[in-house]
Amino acid sequence: MTLSVLARLSPIQSTRLTPWLCRGMKQQATPRKGLKVLFFGTDEFSSSALTALSKGIYSENPGVAHIEVVCPPPRYKVRTNKEKTKLIWKARVSSRATNLGIRVHNTPEGGSIQDWEVPTVDLKAGYGANAQFDIGVVASFGAFLPQRIIDSFPQKMINLHPSLLPKYRGPTPIQTAILNSDTHTGVTVQEVHPKRYDAGNILAQVPFELKLGMHRLDLMTQLGHLGGELTVRVLQNLEYSRKHSIVQDETQATITHMFTSGDAKIRWETMTAMDVMRMHWAHFGHIAVWSFLRIKNKVLTVKMTDIELATSFDEPLEEDYLSFRPGSALRKRKHDYIEFPCIDGGRLHVRGFTVEGKQPRDGLQFAAGYIKKNKTPCMLTLSPDCKRPTPNFVYPESYKRPSHLAAVKINDVPLYHSKPKFVKKLKLLEEAEEAKEAEEVKSSEELDESKETEEPKEAEEPKETKELKESEELKETDESK
């Protein structure tokens, strides 16, 4: 239904300018055709969408004539007894706009924009003094826009959202799609609703295939670029898009929520290796997955930053690794990773650790500092009482220990970030299996043909019937004599 709206939109014209030429180009002083856009954004998704929008300025049929950016101000940490301050955070879209030669406006400190006034167009753009923007475009801005700001634009405001609305409204649609094992997601361009988040009429949508192994930053970049191109097409056909807009079905709406560090804790009693990886992909670059580690009378919080799935091509560090409890830290000399068995028989290879209050370490450094010879520490879901022994691992009800063959091949799946050698090995194995199946089919067909060509042999009589016939023949000869 929503795709039919997109199909009727005129396709975006490809720009002749390469990205490196557009990168530092200043906007010309002569007014261009199209709309004057004020772009509201913050993160990687916003910056990718901004790049696509800026390229639309130089197309033959531009929907965007001039663009400026609004984002939160940078945050600084004031050092005591020193005049210098340290930058601790800056909006990603601000850096991208600076590289593209786009003017940046910052909202007031504290995040409140209730008393904030919409700026006017830059005089250098050639639109005269006090020129107003035609429309506002919002992409992952992070603040609610009141009716007053929406009405300050003649063409109101539209929003770019990284999901197929009404599914996954709210602040974390990408993370939720990864955690829910979705195979498809998408982007939606909608009207900005004055009272609720992501509840406006849908102007256009585009689906996107979510491949296994894509993490949060991958999707933010790719969906942002796709959404920026879609926004250009909507702006080129704004009147048509609004005329054929679609009201969202409230019965199908789902809401996402903000994630905290507690949502990234590994629960070894219930989570499979793939569950841990999905959690790692969903929070990649934002929150690291973590667990507890007990060393004598200390309980440490350990973050795991570089995680991979072990495959059947990766030999286990321990032959009987299935006998170890899930979360056991297995190590071997000259290996730069620590191996963690999971409850389903899968294995995790971790190469990056950050212990609470310490600097980040690789696998070798972590093993040297926290794993002693002939001792295998275990990661824990709950923080134990240091005055008591560590409680035994509690397996879930109806738990069955996985077989070795099933455990070895459990993670043999081609991921988005799989190494080329691994993908090549999988292809060779698949080709070998297909060839084996073809040989079996061919041999069975040859057997069937040979059976059909062979003449049917007379069925041999049993011994009892033969003896009866011989005795009857003897009787007949005696009578004849």
**Lowest mean pLDDT: which of 21-35, 153-167, 217-231?**
21-35
Q: According to the model, what pLDDT value does residue 300 have? A: 93
Q: What pLDDT digit, counting tens, does each position of 421-453 carry? A: 666 766 776 677 777 777 887 777 777 777 666
pLDDT band at 127 (very low <50, low <70, confident <90, very high): confident
Q: According to the model, what pLDDT value does residue 464 have? A: 59
CATH 3.40.50.170 fits 2-252, yes or no: yes
Q: According to the model, what pLDDT value does residue 22 have? A: 40
**Lowest mean pLDDT: which of 48-52, 129-133, 240-244, 282-286?**
129-133
Can you tell me the distance from the alpha carbon of 369 to that of 62, in angstroms, rounded to the nearest whole number? 59
pLDDT band at 75 (very low <50, low <70, confident <90, very high): confident
Can you tell me the distance from the alpha carbon of 376 to that of 324, in angstroms, rounded to the nearest whole number? 9
Residues of the chain with CATH 3.10.25.10: 262-421
**Lowest mean pLDDT: which of 1-5, 174-178, 235-239?**
1-5
Q: What pLDDT digit, counting tens, does each position of 191-209 carry? A: 999 899 999 999 999 999 9
Q: According to the model, what pLDDT value does residue 338 have? A: 95
Q: Which CATH architecture has domain 262-421?
A: Roll (3.10)
Q: According to the model, what pLDDT value does residue 98 have? A: 94
Averaged pLDDT for residues 217-221: 95
Residues of the chain with CATH 3.40.50.170: 2-252
pLDDT band at 295 (very low <50, low <70, confident <90, very high): confident
pLDDT tops 80 at residue 396: yes
Averaged pLDDT for residues 154-167: 96
Q: According to the model, what pLDDT value does residue 186 have? A: 97
Q: What pLDDT digit, counting tens, does each position of 348-391 carry? A: 999 999 999 999 999 999 999 998 877 889 999 999 887 788 88
